[in-house]
Copies of this chain bind each other. A is one copy, B any other.
Amino acid sequence: MERKFKARCIDLETAGVNIIVLNKRDAEDMDLNAMDRVGVSVNDNEVMCVVDLTDTFVPPGTVGFFEEAYTQVNACDDDIVSLRPKDKPQSIQFIKQKLNGATHTDAEIHEIIDDLMKEELTDVELTAWISSIYIRGLSKEETVSLTKSIVDSGDTLNLHANAVFDKHCIGGVAGNRTTMLVVPIIAAAGLTIPKTSSRAITSPAGTADSMEVLAPVSLGKDDIESIVNRVKACIVWGGAVNLAAADDKLIRIRHPLSLDPRGMLLASILAKKKAVGANHVIIDIPVGEGAKIKTRKEAEELARHFNDLGDSLGMNIHSLLTNGDHPIGAAVGPAIEAREVMRILKGEKVSPELREKSLQLAGILLELGGVVGEGKGRDAAMSLVDSGKVLEKMKQIIGAQGGDPELRIEDIIIGPHSETVKSEVSGRIEHIDNQGISSVVRNAGAPVDKAAGMYLHVEEGDKVDVGDPLFTVYARSERKVDQAVEVYNERKPVRMSRIILEALH
């Protein structure tokens, strides 16, 4: 039973669900309840919406649209729209089957992802699906299908190059800003590397947050294609471009409970790489107490899955287990990390571990790309950096994305308030904890405040005397600085080795 309504747009935004508002008299007439699905169309394009009810907010004969809904339906005030009650999509049966332990066919997974993209599945249905995948797992074939259907759900880049390179880091390590070094090295060697990155969710800075200090990162598909075809590389925010579109919708459900079923995590990462056309990819898997992957065994298993899945997808994947025990760079926070990267590119001897890791990762990509022979990649990468060509390439990328290529390091705003915390004892730095450092920097205001951050003056193994500076924390206000130092004192992420472990009275 289809009925016509007059549209009214309401400036209300809820996260990711198309909400429409119906007068209760109309709803009763159409046998609709709150939360029921209806198909809404202006012309032929039908969009699934979810019903809210009202006595007076809209009169009978009018349908109110929340922002997501009127954008998708493309309806304006006083347009005539058609509503019809919608049956549940068939993919709900597939979800029920996964709850009961079945294995999905390729067609089933594509249908679920299609329905997800058409907003035909509610949060309850999606959560049940992801929860059952979390418990029941996905086979390799299911994971391949999921990857392909996520790629199909969005745009893909059309680049001139045949060989396209990419890198991904599983995350969890503070100051690990390798992407902003690896990308210009690879492009300086003449290879193509269209890098999309994420913003911080639980960390103090994502690559996109940090790069945004130097240049705009919210670029569309056309801009990205033209930039990469011109300068061989970009470093942009993946959220502004419609690649692997289904992934964002899945993450919205996975995020609140950190529900990261392995098959879905693999599919999510590789779909983003496949959507940019990458065929040579290195995956950086930091392993350690404070990283996302805690044990060597877990990391090896994950690496094997990445490599296997790459084979099935026709991608050449190199997974690398890296030391994820402690922060890699001295700088932690969006702006201060961008500054550290520019310092390294200019040849300053800062954050040696970050520099060395980046050279090694870039070296492997150079070898995969046939630029140099096996075992010669790391030194080739260093020569490129030392020659100034990488700095030049980074300036090209910054300029191509709309930033100022001549921005001076001194003009990157950090702080302006700061406090340097000094050692109260003599001894050796035994351990610096990633999660503790992240928590201090988030309390200083990062990632929302890009100028908030921390600079570590010590590394693990360093000897310190009483009064030696351990780190400096930067924030927008004294209050934020104090708050960050308070969190430091609670968590003590910089740990000294002690001789007397405990004094008993």
Contacts and interface: CB of A to CB of B under 8 A. Distances in A.
Interface stretch (A120-128, A216-224, A319-327): A120-128
Q: How often does this chain occur in the complex, in copies?
A: 2
Given A15-B34, A15-B35, A257 B95 contact: yes
Contact of A259 (B13, B34, B128, B134): B128
A74 interface: no
Contact of A256 (B125, B131, B134, B258): B125
A11 interface: yes
Nearest to A68: B34
A218 to B, nearest CB: 17
A256 B122 contact: yes
Nearest to A122: B256
Given A127-B124, A128-B257, A99 B12 contact: no
Interface in A424-478: 448
A387 to B, nearest CB: 44
A125 B95 contact: no
A40 to B, nearest CB: 17
A208 to B, nearest CB: 17
A53 interface: yes
Contacts of A313: none
A441 to B, nearest CB: 15
Interface stretch (A54-62, A290-298, A340-348, A406-414): A54-62
Main secondary structure of the interface of A (DSSP, over half): mixed
Given A11-B56, A256-B122, A31 B448 contact: yes
Contacts of A21: 12
A4 interface: no
A15 B37 CA distance: 13
B134 A127 contact: no
Contact of A15 (B33, B55, B95, B101): B33
B13 A96 contact: no
Nearest to A55: B11
A487 interface: no
A12 B57 contact: yes
B124 A54 contact: no
Interface in A1-18: 10-15
A132 interface: yes
A448 to B, nearest CB: 7
Contacts of A127: 123-124, 127-128, 131
A124 B101 CA distance: 21
Given A124-B253, A127-B124, A258 B135 contact: no
Contact of A34 (B10, B14, B92, B257): B14
Given A34-B13, A132-B135, A96 B55 contact: no
A305 interface: no
Interface of A: 10-15, 19, 21, 31, 33-35, 52-57, 66, 88, 92, 95-96, 99, 101, 122-125, 127-128, 130-132, 134-136, 253, 256-259, 448
The 4 lowest CB-CB distance pairs between A and B, nearest first, are A127-B127, A131-B131, A15-B34, A15-B35
15 contacts: A12-B52, A12-B54, A13-B34, A13-B53, A13-B54, A14-B19, A14-B52, A15-B33, A88-B256, A99-B257, A127-B127, A127-B128, A128-B257, A131-B131, A131-B132
